Amino acid sequence: MDRRRFLDLAVFGGALGSLSAILHPVLRFLIPPEDAEPQPDSLKAGKAADFPAGTGKILKFGRKPVLLLRDAKGAFHALSATCTHLDCLVQYRSEQDLIWCACHNGKYDLSGKNLSGPPPRPLDKYQVKLAGEEVLIVRSA
For residues 10 and 76, membership in a common domain is answered with no
pTM, rounded to two decimals = 0.71
For residues 73 and 105, membership in a common domain is answered with yes
Side-chain half-sphere exposure of 14, counting CA atoms within 13 A:
6
Domain carrying residue 29: 1-33
For residues 67 and 28, membership in a common domain is answered with no
For residues 29 and 50, membership in a common domain is answered with no
For residues 94 and 28, membership in a common domain is answered with no
CATH code of the domain covering residue 126: 2.102.10.10
If one counts the domains in the chain, the total is 2
State mean pLDDT over 112-132.
91
For the chain, the farthest-separated pair of C-alpha atoms sits apart, in whole angstroms, at 88
For residues 131 and 94, membership in a common domain is answered with yes
**Distance of alpha carbon 62 from alpha carbon 66, whole angstroms:** 10
Please write the tens of the pLDDT for every residue from 45-55: 889 888 898 88
Determine the straight-line distance between the first and last CA of the chain, rounded to whole angstroms. 69
